[in-house]
Structure 1
Amino acid sequence: MTTFVTGSSGFVGLALTERLLAEGETVIGFDCSAPRDAALRAFAALPGRFVALTGDTRDIRALTDAMRTHRPSRLVTLAAITADAARERAMPQTIFDVNVGGALAALAAAAAVGVERMVHGSSGSVYGASGRQNTHQLSEDLTPLLPEALYGVSKRTAEEAVLRLARLHGLSLTIGRIGTCFGPWEADSGVRDTLSAPLQVLERARRGETVVLPRTHRRDWLYVRDAAAALAALLAQSALAHVAYNVAAGFEWSVADWCDRLAARYSGFDWRIAREGDVPNIDYYADYDRASMDITRLLNDTPFVPQYDLAAAEADFDRWIKR
């Protein structure tokens, strides 16, 4: 089985590629940046075959030529700019060109060469302001999509656009709304403006710095290996009952809980919730704790079962870093 992945050098792209290669599949990775050397070494040790292509995900001709050459049967679109407010002000059109135009270009190329199946990587950010009401889980059909930032607005727009184009071309499409990820391969890639709070804390803990949290910040943190497993599960299903699926953890914990785990591992690591006069040094991006995403649909329609609660994720991340 050959899968074409756009945004393959990004955080989730690398994790999904690793998962598919571990299953013995061929992955054609397409990204504006070449994969990191560490990723290439890790991929080379896996049973699958990886082909890294460098190109602009908005370039429909380059995408079509690449797919015609490698003949994938499946496509996953993950290329995106995860923008903060500064980037929104500076380059709003580019955000939409990549997040919407890139997905449409990949879909059109896939349709032109006969790709059979597509999973579009969307985001829990499409729920936006609905997540402020932390009394009900975010549901694919019942929760209004009220994105607040351009990233979320562009992801919602991309969902609607690829759904329309897939219907026009008769292409099998599933949308995976990915929750807030952390874990192996996360890094400042130049298009990911705010790193996850767990990674921010971990980096300070490893440097022996004191962490000052704005608040405990409880939410359904998604370990990226679970995200990759869920996307692979969606990709493997030839027919699904629904178009959109939440890709999330299914359980909650707080950044304060994460700090406690790291304090037990890193001797001398100190942390606290901000007191009067303190300046927090961990960026939560939003000023509220978003409601969790309901994954009942994902659990019912695929074989996916989340494996990484707080303890399992922290232990696996530590092993990965040491390797």
Structure 2
Amino acid sequence: MPKTLVTGAAGFIGFHLCQRLLAEGHEVIGLDAITDYYDVSLKRDRIAQLENERFTFVKGRVETRGLLMDLFAQHCFDYAFHLAAQAGVRHSIEQPRDYLESNIAGTFELLEAARAHPPKHMLIASTSSAYGSNTEMPYVETMRTDHQMSFYAATKKATESMAHSYAHLYDLPITMFRFFTVYGPWGRPDMALFKFTKAILQGEAIDVYNRGDMMRDFTYVDDLVEALERLAPLAPQRGAPACAEDSLSPVAPWRVLNIGNGSPVQLTAFIEAIEAATGLTAKQNLLPMQPGDVPATWADTTLLTALAGDAQHTPVTEGVRRFVAWYRAYYAV
């Protein structure tokens, strides 16, 4: 029975990953601070869904000095998934210190704990926002990523570099994941799907940035966690690339990996899917691009396929339908 750490266990992706790992027979230690960045009752309800004799919840901040060190010493993890982070591009403009503490200091604490008590594989969340101002599509892991557009993206790119240095110095196998616009049931209230669905069902207008001229590689959460679970035992090895397009470091057991749907969807089509699922027409406030945002994201998934095989790709229409059904049930709409 693998023993696995998931930081950010009460978060959207962390919750779904814990469910998947428990279903696959892992013993899971879930760490989360239950911060008030958004509705804490939603986070608590996620944790309540994870009640299982093989699940242990620990409340705490990843940046707390010694907390992760103690957990690694106590449990001798086989795998460690680091999903805890301060999320949100726009919030990073208003509260950048939150990102410095959670994303950078928190990742440092994780790396120090892993150096002292190495797991078989560490899997750390980054973001597609790391690609920054790149305009060539689709995004390939081997592209240069020097020009991040928000402080959120800058902190996540910094964690990639931090992790690489530890992988090189201490021979720690590490995979960094660049996630692409993850959505689905139990999603975050600050994300577009949640905000749009709530507003449409309440008869309110939605804010549509760049007047709808945006494309995103929307990735259904079940597809993502399936890929993460498959990749856990596939730790990077020095000098053993999986394919010609591998981002494997030449000096460390470290790679960066896109996890996306591999097919971008226009924001207007995404809104149409919500309209179809709710049976209502959206009132739209057409607005200019927000600071720190980018007009398009699109993942090249060649490396993901080479490592984990063909993954499921839930159509946006189906994924949105499932989210709306969950939203109606959860909020009794």
TM-score bracket, normalised by the shorter chain, equals 0.7 to 0.9
Stretches of structure 1 lacking an aligned partner (at least 5 in a row) = 189-194, 275-279
Aligned with 2:225 (options 214, 224, 228): 228
| Compared CA separation, residues 142 and 258, structure 1 to 2 (3 A) | closer
The Cα shift of 1:33 comes to: 1.7
Asked if structure 2 preserves the Cα contact closer than 8 Å seen for 1:60 and 1:106, the reply is: no
SS at match of 2:313: coil
Provide the residue aligned with 2:203 in structure 1.
208
Q: What is the Cα deviation at residue 218 of structure 1?
A: 2.1
Match of 2:316 among 295, 303, 310: 310
1:191 maps to what in 2?
A: none
Q: Distance in 1 between matches of 2:19 and 2:139?
A: 29
**1:224 corresponds to which letter in structure 2?**
V
Letter in 2 for 1:140: E
1:126 corresponds to 2:126: no
Shift of 1:159: 0.4
Aligned to 1:80: 85
Query: Which residue of structure 2 lines up, in the alignment, with residue 151 of structure 1?
Result: 152
Aligned partners of 1:265, 1:180: CA distance in 2, in Å?
Answer: 19
Q: How far apart in 2 are the matches of 1:289 and 1:83?
A: 16
Match of 1:181 in 2: 182
- What TM-score do the two structures reach when normalised by structure 1? 0.84
SS at match of 1:236: coil
SS where residue 118 of structure 1 aligns? strand
Distance of 1:53 and 1:304 partners within structure 2? 34
C-alpha distance in structure 2 between counterparts of 1:313 and 1:283, whole Å: 26
CA contact (8 A) 2:174 2:235 kept: no
CA offset at residue 84 of structure 1? 4.4
Alignment correspondent of 1:264: 276
What is the match of residue 45 of structure 2? 38
Asked if the contact 1:12/1:224 (under 8 Å) is kept, the reply is yes
SS of the residue 1:29 aligns to: strand
Q: 1: distance between equivalents of 2:198 and 2:123?
A: 32
C-alpha deviations, 1:157-211, integer Å up to 9, x for none? 11001111122222111111111222222234xxxxxx22222211112223243
**Structure 1 pair 89–312 and aligned structure 2 pair: CA distance change class (3 A):** closer
Which stretch has the larger CA shift, 238-247 or 72-81? 238-247
Asked whether the 8 Å contact 1:209–1:269 carries over to 2, the reply is no
Contact 2:10 2:43 (C-alpha < 8 Å) held by counterparts? yes
Residue ranges of structure 2 left out of the alignment (5+ in a row): 36-41, 242-247, 249-254
- Relative to structure 1, the CA distance from residue 53 to residue 228 in structure 2 (aligned partners, 3 Å threshold; closer, same or farther) is same
Given that 2:205 and 2:285 are in contact with CA atoms closer than 8 Å, whether structure 1 keeps it comes out as no
- 1:52 aligned to 2:57? yes
Distance, in Å, in 1 between the alignment partners of 2:153 and 2:92 is: 14
Deviation at 1:285, TM superposition (A): 6.3
Q: How many residues align?
A: 305
Percentage of identical aligned residues: 24
Secondary structure of the equivalent of 1:5? strand
Offset from partner CA, 1:75-108 (integer Å, 9 cap, x none)? 1111111244564454x34422221221121121
Alignment partner, residue 277 of structure 1: none
Q: Whole-Å Cα distance in 2 between the matches of residues 187 and 220 of structure 1? A: 17
1:68 aligns with 73
Quote the Cα distance in structure 1 between the aligned partners of 2:223 and 2:291. Answer: 23
DSSP 3-state at the match of 2:31: strand
1:153-168 correspondence to structure 2 within 5 Å: 153-168=154-169
Describe the SS at the equivalent of 1:316.
helix
Q: In the alignment, residue 164 of structure 1 is paired with which amino acid? A: S
Whole-Å Cα distance in 2 between the matches of residues 22 and 317 of structure 1?
21
C-alpha distance after superposition, 1:14-58 (max 9, x if no partner): 1211221222212111121288342234223x7x72111011201
Seen in structure 2, the aligned counterparts of structure 1 residues 268 and 307 have a Cα distance that, compared at 3 Å, is closer
Give distance in 1, aligned partners of 2:294 and 2:112.
38
Provide the C-alpha distance between the structure 1 equivalents of 2:302 and 2:17, rounded to a whole number of angstroms: 22
Cα distance between partner residues in 1 of 2:293 and 2:109: 35
Q: Secondary structure at the match of 2:176?
A: strand
TM-score by structure 2 length?
0.82
Q: CA RMSD in A?
A: 2.6
2:193 maps to a residue whose letter is P
